[in-house]
Amino acid sequence: MNLVMTLGFLLVIIGLWAMLTQKNLIKIIIGFSIIDTGVHLIIVSIGYIKGRTAPILDASVSVADAANKIVDPIPSALVLTAIVIGLAVTALMLTFVIKLYQKNKSLSIDDYQELKW
Amino acid sequence: MLNTVFIIILGSIMLVAAFLAVYIKNLVSSVIAAGIISLLASLIYLLLAAPDVAMTEAAIGSGLTTVVFLLALKNIKQKEEDTDD
Amino acid sequence: MVSPIYILILSLAIGFLLSVIDKTNRKFSLTAFYGVLTFNVLVIADWFYRFLFLGVPTLTINTAGFRAPVSINLQLGVQESFVLLFTNLIGLFAAIFLYKKFKESNISSLTLYLILIMGVNGLVMTRDLFNMYVFLEILSISTYSLTSFGKTGKSLSAGFKYMLAGVTASTFFLLGVVFIYYFSGNLNIDFIQASQFTNYGSIALFLLSIAIFIELKPFPANGWALDVYEAVDSGIVSVIAVVNSAAILFLFYKIMPILPERFLNVFGIAGVITFLFSNMLALKQKKAKRLLGYSSIGQVGLLVASLVFTANAPQHLIYLIVGGFFINHLISKAGLFWLSGIVKHENISDWNVLRGNRSLLILFGIFLFALAGIPPFAGFWAKWELVKLLVHSKMLFALSAILLGSLFEIIFLFRWFTLTVKSDIAATIPRWDASKIFSTSFLGVIAIFFAAMIMKVYYGFSLIHILPVLAVLVIDIIDFLPSKVKGLLSLLAVLAYGYYIYPFESNIQLFFGIIFIVGSAVNIISTLNRTGKSEGFYGFLLMMIFSFGNLIIATNYLEFFLTWEFMTISSFLLILRGKQAQKASLMYMIFSTAGAYLMMVGFAFAPQLMGNSPLVISLANVQLPLISIILLSIGFMIKSGSLGVHIWLPEAHAEAEADVSSFISAILLKAGVFGLLLVGISYVKFAPSFDIFYWVGWIGVLTAIVGAFLASFQEDAKRLLAYSSMSQVGYIVAAIAMVSHLGWVSALYLAFNHMMFKSALFIAVAGIYYRTHTRNMYEMGGLIKKMPLSYITVLISIIAVSGVPPLSGFGAKWLIYTAFISNGWYLQAGVLFFASAVSFLYLYRIIHSIFLGQLKYEHQDIKEAPVWFIIPQYIFLGGIMAISAFPNLIIKPLNKIAMHYFGSSIRIDGYSIFSELGHWDGHVVMLVTMGAFIVPLLILLLLVGKTQKVKQFNIVYAAERPESPQTTHVAHNMYAHYRKALGGWGKPRIWNFWHSASEWTHSLADYFRHIYTGNGQTYVLHIILYVVVIYIVMGV
Amino acid sequence: MIKQVLSLVAIVLLAALIFAPMLINTPLHTSLTPLANYYATQGADDLGAPNLVTAIVVTYRGLDTLGEVTVLFIATAGIGFLMGKKKKLITPKRPASELLQNGASFLLPIIILFGVYIFMHGHLTPGGGFQGGVVIASGILFMMLINQDWSHNVFLFLESFSGFFYVTIGALGIVLAGGFLDNRILPLGTFGTIFSAGAIPLIYSLIGLKVGTELVGILHAMRGEE
């Protein structure tokens, strides 16, 4: 059992619940950002190896024994990218909400159903 | 062991914050709560020996994202006031 | 030879700088923008050429100076370059399409567009899973932003829904990628493929694949996509529907090797379901762009399905099927979306503004036909090969669903087409935009280019098989000429064509050659009466006639089916020319397509043909399986208007232009007869244990009697003749179904006879319509004095139909009864005999109502039909008289034809034909009967004095006029009492059946589409539920 | 209501059927994956960067990072595109206090210096282009808050050219070294010093500049009309 991964999945579930049930557009985006945080936690937890240190070679970690002392650097590298992309998506979604609000003066998702069938 | 305790404590706070973020009526508080989740997540990254991620999450995930949310809210608020006038 | 990585580098470098460049001048930024897009196309085209023709091996590009999996690598092979060539090309032309908007809009739109295309290139080339995620995000975010190009409220909310769905899918994608890394230790798909997955690793694969699959918009988790298609600017939406979809589809293709087979099968089925339901739901859609959205989603579903189903097929088939559908979807969908941007009307019924511009209308037709899988466009070949493949791999469920979906597709596409071509122009014509028209035309050219490439390079068809299409192209070029010139040229072309195909390998081909080619040539004379230009008429007429001819020389199933489809589409377009023909032609197309699909499956089940001889010869040695016989027979019987599937027939005959109806009735129906005979040829030697032709015979018999009854109740002369044709062809079908010597002799005899007298009758009616402008018989009367030549035609023809001595019909009837009785089909013979009696009713009616009785007041000054109508009538009359007086002219050759299959059962001695039941000497019968006619006629002429004339409506009423004066006409509702006598049998049951089937389908579609509530949140819920359901179905 | 129930069902099923088995069946790794092992043992020799995450982010998976910068870039462009042309900024009703203004102009260079420090040391210590970029952006944000407006064009040029040079240096890798985004176009230098690891400090600085200006662009655009 991986505690951080559990936490990550719980956050994904809570975020998803918010996305599916909250009417307010801002709340829906908050839901997405909670999901995002959860996913990042999951990714980092995948790279973690118990009792090891950060993947930086310095005085305490020499090149020779790095393979036995550091955690997996790849998930960290992936998460860096994912975090920035998450911000980009969140900001863009918020911009859509701002524009939608400008046009319709409503933040409820139920008021944006003019296209259907 | 200490790590585990820390993670459990941080995780519990994060889950509470997540519920608050979803169910608080006030949008600003809700945004702040979501920011707290990210901030605590960056602490967890430190515990998981991922300082790069921790810095990024703190700066972008909790810092900038919250600012962006607040800017958006401000923008919407402004519109509200505009229409009230 | 520029490395494709420079596509990414240049796009990014220019993309980053674009806003700075724009500070100087928009011209510079536009130049840079289009320059990069062109650069992409050129680089990829160069590589594509190298891979395809120079055999250059697949290119691998390592980044950062390390090999995969240490660093990310890109790959460009023939598949990647194929996809990229098209996506970049469409991307470039979509940008040209949007030129005006790009010129005026914010510079960000150029940047976004450029990066979007860059993202597509990266997404297709990269081999690294996480890198795919990054490129997918680049693609998605630039697309989300561009959805607001129109900046309407609708496009904003659609864009937001798109984002909600997109981020949900991305989340799954990202989770899938990292868990795949967890289980395999790799992110590069080539290395992942090599590593073993435990059972739990398959969940990771599931998450990855379902995320991509959701991006491909599966039914029903695709409401968001429909909203985007409807609301977003047409230029951008074409990119979303075509370029993005192609890239994501290729992504799916790339990960296919790492997916377990059971995943792929479920995805394949889900693709089929998407295709079926999207097309069904589209039936209720009136908004053009949303309709195209449904269609796009369906096409992508079909592409996924064909990717999965062809996984184990030979390479060239994969290219033909998947590549064919791919090209087809790209070109036709982009083209139609661009047209929607040109037309600027939301509702499909307003698209008739296209009629203001001939070339746009042609483009519309090209894209629509390509989308519908009409030959020669790429989709047709793909469908043909896919059907064969599915039949061979026994995936009959998928096959039926795909064909049903295709049929729905035909219905809504052709409804759209007929509405556009036929409805009255009410909407205003928007101003056309040159860059838009340029891009759209380019696509039309590409579509035709690929059609030609596949036909020539892939199948190696010779010119003769492509002749029907070439005819359309050639006539289109000379369409400015007056119609009389084109008519004469067409006549010459048909004669030359007949001369060219003349040396036939068998007599039966010669026989049908005479019906198809000589019959058509004579019929063409009647079209010379046309004035003006008759634009588009002769092209399709020639296409149809050449198709008739090509049917009899076809040497394999594909040639036959291709020609059959040419015939269908050309006759559809000819019927559509009629003034009120919108519904009629649509119904014709739907039934024809359904028949064609059955035939396609029937052919797929049939064993491979050996040798290179025409089907009429080679099929004699081929044992068709029962399923083939059933499907082919139904297909052919639809074309010949057999009972149950006949309802297209009266409509099409009646509503087509006057000189087209004779072609349809006299010749087109014989194509169905010819087809049925082909099945029969195999049946002779290899009759299946279940005697299906016995039931075909019954259908023929019932068609004959029902057709006769229905004909009797018609008020419309052409409709009457149409039902009469149905009835007559029923005889022929029944006679073929006997599969006996005498049966076939009589069938062919009837077919020939019917060709002549029905041509004569339809042309006569055409002449009458030309003068009276009505087809209702109760509005005519007494025309014998005004149009004596037409009268003689009709009189002789109906004698020929009715089977009264002395004319040829009698011989036909005599033969057929003899055949039935010697075959032991007594009951059938009885019914047919009764049908003959019924046919007197309508035959009497036509001559009586039109020519006898009182001349109408408004017809006082009417003249005889124009000479162009009279000439062909009398040529046919001559033919009828000739074979009546000298039946041997035809019986002898027919005897020989049938003997080829059966050995003879009749003996011909002088002018007499002997069967086991007796003999008939047409020559003597003719002489005797003529004598018997002429003597009373002379007496009559001598004795009859002047008759008193009364005006038609000279009836005194008790101070009131009847509400509808025609009810007082004796010819109106003439056989009401018979109809009453028939009771419930007189009701249009079959019509009602098809009508309610259609209603039911439409309301089902309406019911289902209500899942698309328009709520973005609900769409996310759909996605989550879809993921769960697919997960359970897959049993991950 | 029915939607709530369905949502609950969907999420419970998703959690129970998909998330739970994944969670249970993915215990912590006990050793590095072969790929990570390669980075750990060869990374220093290959690229000369002590911070392996940076080595991966900037070079090994440099294409991802370039993509990520691009994502942020198009998000900025998209937001700008959506928000549309800005109206002329109205002078604020209440100018910020003098103290705040002076404080800000004093703090700003320090903040920016700190940001530059972070991305220059990205190959040595935790942090790098993204983090440094955010620090710079937050400094600018600070300025925005007190309504001391800077010409947006400066950022526009900085953003464009940092991105352009990033790509150009990447392309130089093809010509001078092993491939696109190869950092070995410059000498690897002494391991663990600031001017080492080839072009990594340079590339990470450009990334930092680019990310920082992009973030400023986002904030600027989202601020909307005053």
pLDDT tens-digit readout, D151-172: 677 888 888 999 999 999 999 8
- pLDDT score of C11: 95
| Residue of A6, A41, A74, A96 to mutate, interface with D, max D Cβ within 10 Å | A74
**Rounded mean pLDDT of C558-573?**
95
Partner-chain contact C71 D21, CB within 8 Å: no
Strand-pairing partners, residue A96, are none
- pLDDT score of C945: 61
Partner-chain contact D72 A84, CB within 8 Å: yes
ipTM, interface predicted TM-score of the complex: 0.95
pLDDT band at B85 (very low <50, low <70, confident <90, very high): very low
**AA letter at C1025:** L
C residues 648-707 closer than 8 Å to D (CB): none
Instruction: Please enumerate in sequence order all residues whose Cβ is within 8 A of that of C621, keeping only pairs 6 or more positions apart, or say none.
Output: C610, C685
- Give the pLDDT confidence of C623-658 residue by residue, as tens digits: 999 999 999 999 999 999 998 899 999 999 999 998
- For residue C62, the surrounding DSSP H or E stretch is strand C59-62
pLDDT band at D124 (very low <50, low <70, confident <90, very high): confident
How many alpha carbons fall within 13 Å on the CB side of residue C812? 29
Tell me, yes or no, if B15 comes closer than 8 A to chain A by beta carbon: yes
Mean residue pLDDT of chain C comes to 89
- Give the pLDDT confidence of C395-453 residue by residue, as tens digits: 999 999 999 999 999 999 999 999 998 877 766 666 778 888 899 999 999 999 998 88
Residue A88 has pLDDT above 50, yes or no: yes
Separation CA C772–CA C757 (nearest Å):
22
> 């064509």: which residue's tokens?
C497
* C33-37, C340-344, D37-41: which is most confident: C33-37
| Residue of B13, B73, B76 to mutate, interface with A, max A Cβ within 10 Å | B76
Please choose, from the candidates C139, C117, C123, C146, the residue with its C-alpha nearest in 3D space to the C-alpha of residue C36: C117
Give the 3-state secondary structure of residue C910. Answer: coil
Total number of domains constituting chain C? 3
Total number of domains constituting chain A? 1
- Measured CA to CA in angstroms, residue C51 lies from C77, C90, C410 at distances of 7, 21, 37
Partner-chain contact B67 D54, CB within 8 Å: no
D42, two tokens:
């060869």
- pLDDT score of C1031: 94
Distance from CA of A87 to the nearest CA of D (A): 8
- pLDDT score of D90: 47
What residues of chain A lie within 8 A of the CB of B52, using their CB?
54, 76, 80
Residue D97 has pLDDT above 50, yes or no: yes
A57 lies in some domain: no
Are chains A and B in touch, 3+ Cβ pairs below 8 Å?
A: yes
Distance from CA of C1014 to the nearest CA of D (A): 14
Partner-chain contact A20 C157, CB within 8 Å: no
Please choose, from the candidates C758, C757, C751, the residue with its C-alpha nearest in 3D space to the C-alpha of residue C897: C751
Separation CA C467–CA D16 (nearest Å):
63
> 């010129």: which residue's tokens?
C103
A residues 36-95 closer than 8 Å to D (CB): 45-50, 54-58, 63, 66-67, 70, 72-74, 76-78, 80-81, 83-85, 87-89, 91-92, 94-95
CA torsion, ordered C317, C320, C325, C328, to nearest 10 deg: 180
Tell me, yes or no, if A84 comes closer than 8 A to chain B by beta carbon: yes
Quote the DSSP letter at residue A64: T
Give the range of the structural domain holding residue C346, as residue numbers without chain letter. Answer: 284-460
Residue D226 has pLDDT above 50, yes or no: no
Q: Do B45 and B58 form a contact (C-beta atoms < 8 A)?
A: no
Partner-chain contact D126 B63, CB within 8 Å: no
Q: How many CB atoms lie within 10 A of CB D175?
A: 8
Tell me, yes or no, if C1004 comes closer than 8 A to chain A by beta carbon: no
C residues 171-230 closer than 8 Å to D (CB): 179, 181-182, 185-187, 198, 200, 203-204, 206-207
Separation CA B16–CA B20 (nearest Å):
6
Partner-chain contact A114 C154, CB within 8 Å: yes
pLDDT band at C885 (very low <50, low <70, confident <90, very high): confident
Partner-chain contact B34 A105, CB within 8 Å: no
The residue from C400, C425, C460 where one domain ends is C460
Shared-domain flag, residues C623 and C772: yes
Per-position b or e across C572-581, b if 16+ CB within 10 A of its CB: bbbbbbbeeb
Instruction: Please enumerate in sequence order all residues whose Cβ is within 8 A of that of A10, keeping only pairs 6 or more positions apart, or say none.
Output: A38, B11, B15, B18
C441 vs B77: which has the higher pLDDT = C441
* Phi, psi values for residue C197, rounded to 5°: -105, 140
Partner-chain contact A11 B60, CB within 8 Å: no
What residues of chain B lie within 8 A of the CB of D55, using their CB?
none
pLDDT band at C605 (very low <50, low <70, confident <90, very high): very high
Q: Do B13 and B43 form a contact (C-beta atoms < 8 A)?
A: no
Shared-domain flag, residues C372 and C507: no
Q: In chain B, what are the domain boundaries? A: 2-84
| Residue of B64, B69, B82 to mutate, interface with D, max D Cβ within 10 Å | B64
Tell me, yes or no, if A104 comes closer than 8 A to chain D by beta carbon: no
pLDDT band at C552 (very low <50, low <70, confident <90, very high): very high
Are chains A and C in touch, 3+ Cβ pairs below 8 Å?
A: yes
Residue C387 has pLDDT above 80, yes or no: yes
C352 vs D102: which has the higher pLDDT = C352
The mean-pLDDT minimum among C681-690, C913-922, D213-222 falls in C913-922
- pLDDT score of C803: 76
Shared-domain flag, residues C424 and C511: no
A81 lies in some domain: yes
Tell me how many degrees the CA angle C754-C760-C764 measures, rounded to the nearest 5.
140
Residue C812 has pLDDT above 90, yes or no: no
Q: Do C259 and C316 form a contact (C-beta atoms < 8 A)?
A: no
**AA letter at C398:** A
What is the sign of the dihedral through the CA atoms of B62, B65, B68 and B69?
negative
Separation CA C678–CA C673 (nearest Å):
9
Task: Output the domain CATH number for residue A84.
Answer: 1.10.287.3510
Is the N-terminal amide bond of C805 cis, ω within 30° of 0? no
Nearest CA in chain B to D216: B64
What residues of chain D lie within 8 A of the CB of B55, using their CB?
126-127, 131
Nearest CA in chain B to D134: B59
Distance from CA of C193 to the nearest CA of D (A): 15
Give the 3-state secondary structure of residue D171. Answer: helix
* Phi, psi values for residue B42, rounded to 5°: -70, -30
pLDDT band at C975 (very low <50, low <70, confident <90, very high): confident
Residue C72 has pLDDT above 80, yes or no: yes
- pLDDT score of C575: 94
Mean residue pLDDT of chain A comes to 90
Distance from CA of A96 to the nearest CA of B (A): 10
Q: Do C935 and C943 form a contact (C-beta atoms < 8 A)?
A: no
Separation CA C776–CA C719 (nearest Å):
9
Q: How many CB atoms lie within 10 A of CB C82?
A: 20
- C-D Cβ pairs (cutoff 8 Å, strict): 195
* Phi, psi values for residue C128, rounded to 5°: -105, 130
Shared-domain flag, residues C432 and C319: yes
- Measured CA to CA in angstroms, residue C128 lies from C58, C251, D130 at distances of 17, 11, 22
Tell me the pairing of strands C73-76 and C59-62.
antiparallel
- Counting residues of chain C whose pLDDT is more than 70, the rounded percentage is 96
A59 lies in some domain: no
Nearest CA in chain C to A99: C156
Shared-domain flag, residues C121 and C180: yes
What residues of chain A lie within 8 A of the CB of B21, using their CB?
18, 30, 34
Separation CA D59–CA C72 (nearest Å):
10
Separation CA C938–CA C959 (nearest Å):
45
Partner-chain contact C182 D168, CB within 8 Å: no
Partner-chain contact D224 B51, CB within 8 Å: no
Q: Do C165 and C297 form a contact (C-beta atoms < 8 A)?
A: no
Shared-domain flag, residues C166 and C153: yes
Residue B61 has pLDDT above 90, yes or no: no
Q: How many CB atoms lie within 10 A of CB C481?
A: 15
C399 lies in some domain: yes
- B-D Cβ pairs (cutoff 8 Å, strict): 44
Nearest CA in chain A to C1012: A117
Shared-domain flag, residues C728 and C872: yes
pLDDT band at D129 (very low <50, low <70, confident <90, very high): confident
CA torsion, ordered C486, C487, C490, C492, to nearest 10 deg: -110
Q: Which residue among A25, A74, A92 places its CB closest to the CB of C144?
A: A92
> Residue ranges of the alpha helices (H) in C50-106?
78-97, 99-104
Shared-domain flag, residues C808 and C920: yes
What residues of chain B lie within 8 A of the CB of A107, using their CB?
76
Give the 3-state secondary structure of residue C678. Answer: helix
Separation CA C487–CA C478 (nearest Å):
12
The residue from C937, C955, C971 where one domain ends is C937
The mean-pLDDT minimum among C178-192, C789-803, D91-105, D127-141 falls in D91-105
Separation CA C758–CA C747 (nearest Å):
16
- A-B Cβ pairs (cutoff 8 Å, strict): 136
Partner-chain contact D180 C61, CB within 8 Å: yes
Q: How many CB atoms lie within 10 A of CB A51?
A: 10
Mean residue pLDDT of chain D comes to 83
The mean-pLDDT minimum among B42-56, C254-268, C563-577, D209-223 falls in D209-223
- Give the pLDDT confidence of C178-222 residue by residue, as tens digits: 999 998 888 999 888 777 776 678 899 999 999 999 999 999 999
Nearest CA in chain A to B31: A30
A65 lies in some domain: no
| A→C interface, C-beta within 8 Å | 12, 16, 19-21, 23, 25, 28, 32, 35-36, 39, 42-43, 46, 74-75, 78, 81-82, 85, 88-89, 92-93, 96-97, 99-100, 103-104, 109-110, 112-117
Residue C956 has pLDDT above 60, yes or no: no
- pLDDT score of C488: 94
- Give the pLDDT confidence of C292-336 residue by residue, as tens digits: 999 999 999 999 999 999 988 898 899 899 999 999 999 999 999
Quote the DSSP letter at residue D151: P
Tell me, yes or no, if C68 comes closer than 8 A to chain A by beta carbon: no
Neighbours of chain D (3+ CB pairs under 8 A): A, B, C
Partner-chain contact C17 D160, CB within 8 Å: yes
Tell me the pairing of strands C918-921 and C912-915.
antiparallel
**Rounded mean pLDDT of C128-156?**
89
- For residue C66, the surrounding DSSP H or E stretch is none
**Rounded mean pLDDT of C367-395?**
93
Are chains B and C in touch, 3+ Cβ pairs below 8 Å?
A: no
The residue from C460, C477, C509 where one domain ends is C460
Tell me, yes or no, if A106 comes closer than 8 A to chain D by beta carbon: no
Give the range of the structural domain holding residue A94, as residue numbers without chain letter. Answer: 3-50+72-108
A31 lies in some domain: yes
Partner-chain contact A89 C163, CB within 8 Å: yes
Instruction: Please enumerate in sequence order all residues whose Cβ is within 8 A of that of C238, keeping only pairs 6 or more positions apart, or say none.
Output: C90, C94, C97, C333, C334, C337, C338, C341
